[in-house]
Amino acid sequence: MRVIGDEGKQLGVLSLGEALTLARAKGVDLVEIAPNATPPVCRLVDYGKFRYEQAKRDKESKKHQHATKVKEVQLSPKIDPHDLSVKLQRAIEFLSEDMKVKATLKFRGREMAHTEFGFQVVQKFLTDLAAYGQPDFEPKLVGRGIIVMITPLPRNKRAKAVPQTEGGGMHVTPPPRFEPRPAAVPVPIERPPRPQPVGTGSDSFVNNPFAQLEIKH
């Protein structure tokens, strides 16, 4: 078998016993990396590190595969605002997974007489996606529709995906609720005590002007 050292150097053709002895001496593993080659190719490497590097390479290759995938989102000149938000959310999810988005808008019947309305819808769609992707070219009219290709931004420049609501639309923060204040509870006011009558008799009254007069018999 052909053996590659832990530093990437070619060690030549060795027998299995010689390769295993060399691996034990260096404290590493003997990993077969090309079993179908003639002769088979093995490498002296730390197996844990080898698996980590292999997983990292696989992850990078998947990123490039995602970038080649294209998802289509269809629009219309008279699309409902709620439907547009749903289409926008789907496009954000595709771009967040490193996929390209092809936005197409089709005209029907007399809608071709006012293509400017379709371009307005597409332009609003691109504006709302600006934090996630950028168009490869300006929207153009092809046949009876408008097409534009959107490429995801790099991960370090891309906004985070907006969470999706249960109904399938974009999450919208509800306005603050108005809570009416409870009615004020009336507080009883203490009244001052009523003045007591001057005198001791039952027929005495307050501030009797004749109380100081002497009556002669």
How many Cα atoms are found within 13 Å in the side-chain-facing hemisphere of 115?
Answer: 12
> pLDDT tens-digit profile of 168-214?
444 433 434 445 555 555 555 555 566 555 555 545 555 555 555 56
pLDDT value of residue 178: 43
> pLDDT tens-digit profile of 128-168?
999 999 999 999 999 999 999 999 998 888 887 655 544 44
* DSSP label of 84: H
Cα separation of 209 and 188, whole Å?
Answer: 37
Collect contacts of 170-176 with beta carbons under 8 A, ≥24 apart: 170/85, 170/86, 170/88, 170/89
pLDDT value of residue 60: 73
Cα separation of 6 and 159, whole Å?
Answer: 41
Rg over alpha carbons for the chain, rounded to the nearest Å, is 44
pLDDT value of residue 52: 85
Summarize the confidence of residues 113-137 as an average pLDDT.
93
> pLDDT tens-digit profile of 30-83?
888 888 888 889 989 888 888 888 888 877 776 655 556 899 999 999 999 999
- pTM (two decimals): 0.47
- SS3 at position 67: helix
pLDDT value of residue 157: 86
pLDDT value of residue 127: 94
Q: Helix crossing, 81-96 with 115-128: angle to 10°?
A: 50
Kindly report the number of other CB atoms within 10 A of residue 116's CB atom: 8
Closest residue by Cα to residue 111 from 142, 78, 152: 78
Distances (CA, A) of 210 to 103, 121, 201, 205, 214: 108, 101, 14, 11, 9
pLDDT value of residue 122: 95
